């Protein structure tokens, strides 16, 4: 019997277990088209990102906040002249985002199925409560999780709290995700392993440098490599 130290594995959801950012990008493109008479696409996107950055502290992460930021940007760019009919279309695009089909990532299902017998799996995600619950239900992955934590932000305190409650504490836990800023760096700061699974589309506000001197930092190409990685930890 090996002395397995790991008890708990946390998984980010958006762009780790299922596609997400690609739907935001499509919505943003549609948004810039709606305002094409007033400004070019690049400057609309820049103003939108600035609004999102400003508004995170008020609305948190997710589609509702994104929709409000689109409306705010539209008011700014048109200097208050945006027709109500266009605001209605912006609201529609936001609602469409709340009903996009759930597309799970390669290897997500088989990996969770294989790990669920041995480890306590926890889904840890930001975003709108309704939307994340919907996506979890539609993904068909819910049964693999011992717990689901939908949180307003992901900090070292968040991970310490969750991993102290579930399993053997942060030192015996691992967090797996596509955001260095939200999933990896704070989990390592909490004392856990941080396994970075890069996604080609990651929101610019989630970018930070890879940790350089962190013995518990790991990086894999896709979820199919996770079990092999865990076996090397002993
Ligand atoms: Mg993510």
Query: 233 C-alpha to center of ligand 1: Å?
Result: 24
Query: 106 C-alpha to center of ligand 1: Å?
Result: 15
The DSSP code for 104 is B
* pLDDT score for 55: 96
* pLDDT, tens only, 123-170: 999 988 989 999 999 999 999 999 999 999 999 999 999 999 999 999
- Hey, do 8-19+103-232 and 21-98 end up sharing a CATH topology, with the first three levels equal? no
* pLDDT score for 234: 64
* pLDDT score for 204: 78
* pLDDT score for 48: 96
Query: 4 C-alpha to center of ligand 1: Å?
Result: 27
Query: 178 C-alpha to center of ligand 1: Å?
Result: 5
Query: 177 C-alpha to center of ligand 1: Å?
Result: 6
Query: 127 C-alpha to center of ligand 1: Å?
Result: 10
Query: 182 C-alpha to center of ligand 1: Å?
Result: 8
Identify the segments of the chain with pLDDT beneath 50: 1-3
Q: Does 21-98 carry CATH code 3.30.70.260?
A: no
Residue spans of beta strands (DSSP E) within the chain: 8-11, 120-125, 147-150, 173-177, 193-196, 217-219
Query: 19 C-alpha to center of ligand 1: Å?
Result: 9
Architecture field, domain 8-19+103-232:
3-Layer(aba) Sandwich (3.40)
Rounded to whole angstroms, the Cα distance separating 109 from 112 reads: 5
Query: 78 C-alpha to center of ligand 1: Å?
Result: 32
Rounded to whole angstroms, the Cα distance separating 6 from 28 reads: 40
Phi, psi of 8 (to 5 degrees): -135, 135
Structural contact between residues 158 and 189, judged by C-beta atoms closer than 8 angstroms: no
Query: 38 C-alpha to center of ligand 1: Å?
Result: 33
* pLDDT score for 60: 87
* pLDDT score for 209: 87
* pLDDT score for 4: 54
* Residue ranges per structural domain of the chain: 8-19+103-232, 21-98
Q: pTM of this prediction? A: 0.90
């Amino acid at each position: 019997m090996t002395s397995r130290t790991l008890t708990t594995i946390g998984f980010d959801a958006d762009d780790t277990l299922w596609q997400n950012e690609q739907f935001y990008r499509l919505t943003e493109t549609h948004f810039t088209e709606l305002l094409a008479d007033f400004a070019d696409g690049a400057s609309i996107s820049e103003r939108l990102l600035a609004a999102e950055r400003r508004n995170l502290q008020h609305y948190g992460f997710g589609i509702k906040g994104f929709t409000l930021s689109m409306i705010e940007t539209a008011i700014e760019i048109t200097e208050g002249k945006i027709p109500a009919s266009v605001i209605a279309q912006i609201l529609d695009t936001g609602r469409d985002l709340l009903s996009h089909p759930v597309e799970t990532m390669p290897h997500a299902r088989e990996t969770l199925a294989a790990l669920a017998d041995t480890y306590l799996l926890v889904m840890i995600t930001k975003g709108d409560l309704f939307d994340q619950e919907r996506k979890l239900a539609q993904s068909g992955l819910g049964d693999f999780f011992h717990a689901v934590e939908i949180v307003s932000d992901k900090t070292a305190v968040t991970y310490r709290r969750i991993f102290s409650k579930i399993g053997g504490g942060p030192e015996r836990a691992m967090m797996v995700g596509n955001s260095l800023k939200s999933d990896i760096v704070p989990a390592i700061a909490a004392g856990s392993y941080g396994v970075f699974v890069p996604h080609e589309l990651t929101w610019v506000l989630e970018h930070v440098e890879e940790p350089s001197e962190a013995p518990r930092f790991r990086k894999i190409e896709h979820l199919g490599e996770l079990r092999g990685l865990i076996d090397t930890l002993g």
